[in-house]
Amino acid sequence: MERVQNPQYRLFILSKTRDYPSQALDLFPGVALKIARCLTTGEAKSVKIQIEVTNRCNFRCKYCIRNYWKADLLDMDLTMFRKILDSFDEVERLILYGFGEPLIHKNIVEMLDLAKSKSEVLLTTNGSIKLDKVVDKVDHLGISIDTLIPGVLESIRKGSSWKIIRDNIEYAIKRTEVELEVVLTKDNIGEFVEFVKWAGEISADVAATNLVPYCKEMYDKVLFVELSKTPVEICEKVLGTDYNRMNELLKSVTSYSHDGINAYNELWQKVRSENYHLNLPAIIENQHRIKLAREVEKIFEEARKIAKSYQIKLDLPNVFADESKRACPYEDTIFIRSDGKITPCMEFAYTHPLYINGHKKIVNEYIIGNISSFDMEFMEMKKRLVEEFPWCGDCQFAVGCWFVEEALDCYGNSPSCSECLYSAGIARCLI
C-alpha cells in the first residue's frame, strides 16, 4: 500500500483516526525505512539518542514549559537506562538531558559512566550543582545562563544563584568543552554583545535560541517574526518601506478594485517565483516586529565579530523564518522520555500550549513507541520537511485556521510541523 496522496481523502481518514496515533501512522506505510535501519542495525554513524534521565527540576524558570504542562514527574529507572543503551549497536552521541535537571538524578554518575562506554556524551545542566563528579565523564557540557546581571538571572531562573553558576562554569571550562546556552528575549538582547565578549574572555562557546512562547505574555517578549524574509523584501522592493502603501493595496483588493487586484497578482507572482507564499496582512500587521528582527540581526553581526576575535563558536538563531529552507534538527535523533516512551523530538514529548502566528494552540504529545517496539515512519517524513509540511507563518489564513483547531495542517498531517520554530531555526536545541 502506498502513501495516500489525495489531500481530501487524507483529511477524512485523519479526522477519524487522530485519537489513535498507531492508526494514523498506518496511513504512511513503508518497510525498512532508512532511519529505522540505522537505529536498529547500526548502519549509519550519524544516529543520536537523547535520553531524558529525569523531568524533575530544582529551578522554577519563568519561561519554562514546566509551568504549562501536566506531566507526571519521575526519574528514569537505571535498569531502563541500561536497556536503552543495550538496544542500540552504534550511536554517534548520547544526549543526556530533557525537560529536567539531569544532575539531580541519584544515579547520574553511573549513567554517565555507562553512556561514556557507549559513545560520546553531551550533558546540559542549569549549573546549580557541583560538577566535580561528572565533568570528566562528558565530551560536551552545556550550561544554561541568560544574563550577566545576577538579579535578573535569579528572577528569570528562580532558584538559581549567579555566583554558583559562574563558579561551575569557570571550573568546567578547564576540564571539558563548554557551551553557554542563552534564551534571548527583549529583556536581555541589549546585553548580548557584552555576554559574548565575556564568554570569549573565559574561552566558552555560546549557543543562543529565541524564546519559545507558551502564552501571549511570552509572545510579547520574542525577538523573531514567523514570516519568511524573502516575501517581506519583495514587498518592500515593489511597494517601498511605506507600510501605509501596502495597506492601501490590501484595501483596494478587498474592495474589488481592478487595478488593485492586478497589482496584488503581480506581487503574488513575484513571491511565488521564488518558491514562497505571500501573507501581506501579516507583513503589515507585524511591521514593528520586522523592524525589531532587523535590529537583532545587527546585534548578531556585532556578536559574530567579537566571537571571531576570541576564536569561540557562536551558534545563533534565525529571527525570520524561511519557508523554503526549513529542516528538522531531529532528523537522525530520537527523544526518549524519563518514562521510557519514545517521541520524534522534544517538541512532541509532552502536551503543552504554544502561542504562535498570533494564536494559541495545543501541541499534543506524540508517542511513536517504546524501546521494545517503535515506528519511525514520522521521522522519515521529517527528512522531507519542506515537501511534507506547509509553513503557516506565510499563510494569511493562519489566524482562525480550522485545521490548526483540529490539530491538523492543510496537507492533512497530524501531528504537524507546520508551526515548529525549531524547523525554521528560530528556536535551537543543543543536540
Whether residues 297 and 272 fall in one domain: no
Q: Report the candidate in 148, 193, 143, 191 with the shortest Cα–Cα distance to residue 168.
A: 143
Helices (H), 159-286: 162-173, 192-201, 216-219, 229-239, 243-254, 258-272, 280-285
All three cell numbers of 339: 518514562
Whether residues 173 and 72 fall in one domain: yes
Whether residues 119 and 46 fall in one domain: yes
pLDDT per position as a tens digit, 107-151: 999 999 999 999 999 999 999 999 999 999 999 999 999 999 999
Residue 13, pLDDT above cutoff 70: no
DSSP H/E element including 40: helix 34-41
Q: Which domain holds residue 243?
A: 225-285
Residue-wise DSSP of 132-168: TTTGGG-SEEEEE---S-HHHHHHHEET--HHHHHHH
**CATH label of the domain that carries residue 66:** 3.20.20.70
| Total Cβ atoms within 10 A of residue 67 | 13
Does residue 401 fall inside a structural domain? no
Residue 364, pLDDT above cutoff 60: yes
What integer pLDDT is reported at residue 8 of this predicted model? Answer: 40
Does residue 343 fall inside a structural domain? yes
Contact of 377 with 35, CB cutoff 8 Å: no
Q: Report the candidate in 198, 208, 222, 251 with the shortest Cα–Cα distance to residue 354.
A: 222
Contact of 35 with 43, CB cutoff 8 Å: no
- Name every residue whose Cβ is closer than 8 Å to that of residue 416 and which is 6 or more positions away in sequence: 389, 407, 408, 409
Does residue 394 fall inside a structural domain? no
Residue 295, pLDDT above cutoff 90: yes
Q: Report the candidate in 250, 258, 318, 312 with the shortest Cα–Cα distance to residue 284.
A: 250
Number of domains observed in the structure of the chain: 2
Whether residues 265 and 329 fall in one domain: no
Does residue 10 fall inside a structural domain? no
What integer pLDDT is reported at residue 46 of this predicted model? Answer: 52
Does residue 96 fall inside a structural domain? yes
pLDDT per position as a tens digit, 37-88: 444 444 444 589 999 999 999 999 999 999 999 999 999 999 999 999 998 8
What value does the mean pLDDT take over residues 361-374? 87
Rounded-to-integer distance, Cα 124 and Cα 51, Å: 11
Whether residues 106 and 255 fall in one domain: no
Whether residues 240 and 369 fall in one domain: no
Classified as helix, coil or strand, 207 is strand
Contact of 45 with 92, CB cutoff 8 Å: yes
Whether residues 196 and 314 fall in one domain: yes
What integer pLDDT is reported at residue 398 of this predicted model? Answer: 86
What residue type is assigned to position 269 of the chain?
A: Q
What integer pLDDT is reported at residue 40 of this predicted model? Answer: 44
pLDDT per position as a tens digit, 142-175: 999 999 999 999 999 999 999 999 999 999 999 9
Does residue 408 fall inside a structural domain? no
Whether residues 89 and 75 fall in one domain: yes
Whether residues 278 and 315 fall in one domain: no
Whether residues 65 and 106 fall in one domain: yes
What integer pLDDT is reported at residue 407 of this predicted model? Answer: 87
Percent of the chain whose pLDDT exceeds 70 = 89
Contact of 82 with 127, CB cutoff 8 Å: no
* N- to C-terminal Cα separation, the chain: 35
Classified as helix, coil or strand, 131 is coil
Rounded (5°) CA angle 187-190-192: 100
- Name every residue whose Cβ is closer than 8 Å to that of residue 378 and which is 6 or more positions away in sequence: 25, 28, 344, 366, 368, 415
pLDDT per position as a tens digit, 179-226: 999 999 999 999 999 999 999 999 999 999 999 999 999 999 999 999
- Name every residue whose Cβ is closer than 8 Å to that of residue 64 and which is 6 or more positions away in sequence: 57, 99
Boundary of a domain, candidates 366, 383, 400: 383
What integer pLDDT is reported at residue 47 of this predicted model? Answer: 81
Whether residues 334 and 210 fall in one domain: yes
Whether residues 210 and 240 fall in one domain: no
Contact of 332 with 263, CB cutoff 8 Å: no
What residue type is assigned to position 31 of the chain?
A: V
Rounded-to-integer distance, Cα 428 and Cα 412, Å: 26
What value does the mean pLDDT take over residues 94-110? 98
